[in-house]
Structure 1
C-alpha cells in the first residue's frame, strides 16, 4: 500500500472514530442525566444512537469506493449534527452553547437531503437539484438565527431546564413560532419533493438508471412520509407515535446504506468490464462486442458505431451509418467517442444518458474497446507475419531441396562422368604401355587409376549425401532401407507410406533418419535400432527412430538441434524420449499439408 494512501486511510479512520465517540457521548450522557420518568425507552435510545453509527460506517465505505468525497463528508457531518434532545440537559447551564446547538439540532435533515440530491454521482445533477439545496440551506440558516436571536428558552420545557439565551436580541415568540413551523414544513415538503423526483425518475428511467438507483427511492419515500407526519404532529402538538418514530429512524438509517449499495453496484459494473475484456480478448468482433457491452452495462439500448475510414463516417456492425448528432447526445442517449492513443477514431458507443454519471465505468469501457481493437490488430499482424514467415521458410526449404537435387545431378552428369571417362582412358594407356614393354609406366598408370577410383567413390558418396538419387527415383520405401544398410548398427526398417510423398516431406524424413542413425552409431552404444514410417488417416507422416542404447540424449545437442530445425521448417513436431539406460526414441510428425 502506498504511503500516501495509507496515511489518508489512517486520517479517515481517526476522524470517523472521533465523531463516533462524540455521537455516542452525546447520546449516553443525555440519557443518563435525564430524569428516569422523562427518559426515552432504552430500545429507542439504542436505535437512535445506531443511526449516526450507520452513517459513519457508510462514510468509511463511500470514502473508499465513492465517485467523490462530498457524500462521505456529508455522512460524517450528519453524525455530528445528530444531536439528541436529551443532550440539552447536559448543556442547559451553558447559555452561550445550547442556543447554538439548538439552532442546528435539525440540520441533520438538511444533510440527509443533500446526500440524496448528490446520489449516485456525488454532485448535483441539474438546476432543480441546486434550487432545492439552496432553499433547504437558506431555510436552515434562517431557522438557526431565529433560534439564536429570538428565543429565551426552548418552547418545550421537557427539552431542558435551560438558562436564558445570551444571544437573544428580541422577544418575538410569534415570529419564532412562524419560522419554526415554516422550517419544519419546508423540510417536510422538500423531502417529499426529493423523494417524488427520485421515485418518478426511477419509474421512468431505463434499466441502467433503475439498477443504479434501486434502493434509495424506497428509503427516501419512507423517511419523507414519516418526516411529514412528524411535522404535522409537532404542529398540532400531539405526542409522536413510537412506531412511526421507529420507522422514521430505520428509514433515515437506510439512506446511507442505499447510497453505498448504489455506488457499490456501479463499482461492480466497472468490474464487469474485466469480463468484457475476457470475452473479447481475441479481438473486437463487432457483433459480439455490442452484445457483450449491452449485457455488461445492462442497457439494451446500447449501440456501437465503428469508424468507417473509407467513407469518413460511423456505421454499426451491419454497415448502417449513424444518423443525427455524432458529437454529443441523441435523445435520451449519449455518445461516448473512443479514439486510439494517436487520436484516430475507433468507435462511438451510444448508451443511456444516466451512465454519464459513472464516468469511471465509461472510461473502463473505452479502454476495454481500445485494447480489444489493438489486440485484434496485433493478432492480425502477427498472423500475417507468421504466414509470411511460413511461406518464406517453405520457399527456402524447397529452394534448398531443388539446389541439392541440381547439385547431385550436376555431379552425377558432369564431374562423375568425366572422371569415369578419364579412368577408362588411363586404363587404355596402361594397357598400351605394357603392350609396348614400358612396364614402369603401366605400373604408374595403375596407381593413378587407383587414386582416381578412390576420388570417384568419395565423389559418389558426397553426391549421395547431398541428395540421394535413390530417394528421387524410389522414395522413402527404397531410400530408407538403403540408408539403414550403411549403418554399423543392425536396423529393422518398416516403411509403409502409400505411394510417393511431397519431395520436401520425403527429403526431410530421409535426412532425419540419416542424422538419427548417425547419432546412434556415434553415441548410443546400441546393439540394435528400429526405423518405422507410416502415413495416418489425417495426412500426417509419422516417423519413429528407436535404439536400445544407453539413452540420456540431450535435445540441445548439435545432432538433435539439426533434426529439430529440419522438422520445424516443414511445420512438423518432434518428441524425444531418452531416459538413462533405456535407449532413445525420436518421434517426428510431418503434415503433408505443410508441403502444399
Structure 2
C-alpha cells in the first residue's frame, strides 16, 4: 500500500473515530444527566444513538468506494449536527455554548437533504438542486442568527443560564421564525422526495437501477418529519412510535446512498465480463447486445465508424440519425489512442454520472477492436505463411519430377546406349579371338549395369514414376517392397488425389518405413491408406520397441513440415515396448488454386479398417503382402 494512501486512511479513520466519540459522549452524558423520571425509553435512546453511528460507518465506505469525497464529508458533518435534546442539561451553565447548539441543532436535516441531492454523482446537478440547496442554507443561516438574537431559556429543555447574545425579547417573532424554518425544511424535503420519486417512476431501467431504494427511504423520512413538524407547531405530546420510525428512515438514507454507489461500482466491474465476451474481436451485433446487458440499458445503440464513406453506421449498416442524442440520451464517442474514430455509443443520460463506467466501456471497446484487428492480421499472416510453405513444397516436387525426367531421358538413355555399344564391341572381340578384350568389356558392362541400377534407384527416390502413373495404389506397395522388414499394405485406390497430396503421402510413408528399417528393431509393419470424409488418413504401424518422438531426427521433422504445409497433422503413438504408430491426416482435396495441379477426383473408400495386432490376420480391404527387399533412402525435408 502506498504511503500516501496509508496516510489518507489513517486521517479518515481518526476523523470518524473522533466524531463517533463526540456523538456518543453527547448521547450518554445527556441520558445520565436527565432525571430518571424524565428519561426516554432506553430502546429509543439506543436507536437515536445508532443513527450517527450508521452515518459514520457509511462515511468510511463512501470514502473508500465513492466517486468523490463530498458525500462522505456530508455524512461526517451530519454526525456533528446530530445533537440530542438531552444534551442541553449538560451545557446549561455555558451561556456562550447552548445558544449556538440551539441554532444548529436542525442542521442535520439540511445536511441530509443535500446528501440526497448529490446522490449518486457526488455533486449538485441541475438548477433545481442548486435552488433547493441555496434555499435550505439561507433558511438555516436566518434561523441561526434569529436564535442567537431572540432565543430565551424557555426554548430549550433545561434550566439554562440566560442567553448572552439575546438583543431583544420578541417571543412571537422567534416562534414565527422557528416554526417557519421547520415548515420550509419539510417543504424542501417533500420537494426533493417527490422529484426523486417521479424521476424513478418515469426513468429508464438504468435510472431506476442507480436510484435503487433511496426514494422509499426518503419518503418514509419526509412523512414522519412532516408529522413531527405538525406536532411541534401544535404543541402536541411526543409520539414515541412515530419518532422511532423517523429515526430508522433517517438511518436508511446513508445506507441507500452507499448501496447505490456500490451498485454503480459493480457495474464497472462487469466491464471485465464484457471484455471476456468480446475478447475475440468486436463483432458488431454481439457487442451491442453485451453492452446493453452490462449497462442494464436496452436503449443502448452502437454506431461504428465507416472509413470509406466517412460516417457512423449501426450493425445493420444504417447511418446514425442526427436526433439520436435526443431527450434522455447522450452520445459517447470512442476513438483509438491515435485519435482515429472507432464508434459512438448512445446510452441513457443517467449513466453520464458514472464516468468511470463509461471510461471502462470505452477502453473495453478500444481493446476489443484492437484484438479483432490483431487477430485478423495474424490469421492473414498465418495463411500467407501456409500458402508460402505449400508453394515451396510444390516447387520442390516439381524440381524432383524434372530431375527424375532429366535422368531418365538423359543420363539413363545414354548409359543404356553405351551398354549396347559395349556389348556389340565385346561380341565382336570374342568373334575375333580377342578373349582378354572381350572379358574386359564384359567387366565394364557389369560395372555399367551396376551404375545404371544405382542411378535408377536414385531417380526413383527423387520422384517415383509409379506415383505419377498409378498414384498411391501402385506407389505404396512398391516402396513397401524395398523395405527389409515385411510390410503389409492396405490401400483403397478408387480414384486419384491432387499430386501434392499424393507426393506428400508417399514421402511420409517412405520416411516412416525408413525409420522402421533403421531404428525400430521391428519384425513386421503395416501400412494403411484410406479417405475418411474429407481427409486422407495414412497409418504406419510396427511391432518395434517403441519410444519414438516427433522431435527426434530430421526425418520425422521433415514429415511434420511437409504435412503441415498442406494443412495436415501428424500424430505419433509410441509407448515403450508396444510398437509405434504414425497417423497422418491431410485434406483429401486442397482449395482451388491455379498453382496446384490436380490429377484426379480423389480416393473413394469405405470405413476405416480396424487396426490389427502385430500377429493378427490381414485386415479388410485390398491388401498386399510384400516380401523383403532393398529400400532406398528418401530425401529428408
TM over 0.5: yes
Is 1:192 the counterpart of 2:187 in the alignment?
no
Partners of 1:117 and 1:194 within 8 A in 2: yes
1:302 is aligned to 300
Which deviates the most, 276-285 or 81-90?
276-285
Aligned counterpart in structure 2 of residue 204 of structure 1, from 191, 195, 202: 202
Structure 2: state its 5+ residue gaps. Answer: 593-637
Deviates more, 1:277-286 or 1:196-205: 277-286
1:165 is matched with 163
Residue equivalent to 1:223: 221
Preserved contact between residue 502 and residue 595 of structure 1 (Cα < 8 Å): no
Distance across 2 between alignment mates of 1:3 and 1:585: 63
Question: Structure 1's 78 and 154: CA in aligned 2 closer, same or farther, altered over 3 A?
Answer: farther
- Greater mean alpha carbon deviation, residues 430-439 or residues 129-138: 430-439
Indicate the residue corresponding to 2:340 in structure 1: 344
Deviations 1:425-466 (A, max 9, x none): 223233333444444444443343333223222211111111
Output one character per residue of 1:458-517: Cα deviation in whole Å (capped at 9) or x when no partner: 211111111111121122222112212211222222222432222122111111111111
| Partners of 1:307 and 1:314 within 8 A in 2 | yes
Deviation at 1:122, TM superposition (A): 0.8
Contact preservation (8 Å) 1:277, 1:368: yes
Higher relative contact order, structure no. (Cα contacts within 8 Å, ≥ 6 residues apart): 2
More moved, 443-452 vs 496-505: 443-452
Give yes or no for contact 2:387–2:565 (8 Å, CA) kept in 1.
no
- Seen in structure 2, the aligned counterparts of structure 1 residues 130 and 263 have a Cα distance that, compared at 3 Å, is same
Q: Identify the range of structure 1 (92-101 vs 469-478) with the bigger mean alpha-carbon deviation.
A: 92-101
> Contact 2:497–2:589 (CA<8 Å) still a contact in 1?
no
Residue 246 of structure 1 corresponds to 244
Aligned to 1:454: 450
2:592 is the alignment partner of 1:589: no
Aligned mates of 1:71, 1:375 — CA distance in 2: 39
Deviation at 1:35, TM superposition (A): 1.0
User: How many residue pairs are counted as aligned between the two chains?
Assistant: 591
| Aligned position for 1:258 | 256
- Judged with a 3 Å threshold, the aligned counterparts in structure 2 of structure 1 residues 72 and 498 are, in CA distance, closer, same or farther, namely farther
Q: Which residue is equivalent to 2:509?
A: 513
**Corresponding residue number in structure 1 for 2:118:** 118
Farther off after superposition, 476-485 or 389-398: 389-398
User: CA contact under 8 A between 2:498 and 2:590: conserved in structure 1?
Assistant: no
Shift of 1:60: 2.1
Greater alpha carbon shift after TM alignment, 238-247 vs 288-297: 288-297
Give the corresponding residue for 1:546.
541
2:521 alignment counterpart: 525
State the partner residue of 2:70: 70
Alpha carbons of structure 1 residues 3 and 480: separation in structure 2 relative to 1, 3 Å: farther
For structure 1, the residue ranges without an aligned partner over 5 or more in a row are none
Structure 1 equivalent of residue 399 of structure 2: 403
Q: Is 54-63 or 276-285 further displaced after alignment?
A: 276-285
Partner residue, 1:137: 137
Give the TM-score taking structure 1 as reference length: 0.94
**Aligned-CA RMSD value:** 2.1
Paired with 1:498 and 1:449, the residues of 2 have a C-alpha distance of: 43
Alpha-carbon distance between aligned partners in 2 of 1:269 and 1:497, rounded to the nearest angstrom: 63
Verify the 8 A CA contact 2:78 2:111 in the aligned structure 1: yes
Deviation at 1:595, TM superposition (A): 6.0
Alignment of 1:102-501 (within 5 A): 102-153=102-153, 155-156=155-156, 159-324=157-322, 329-501=325-497
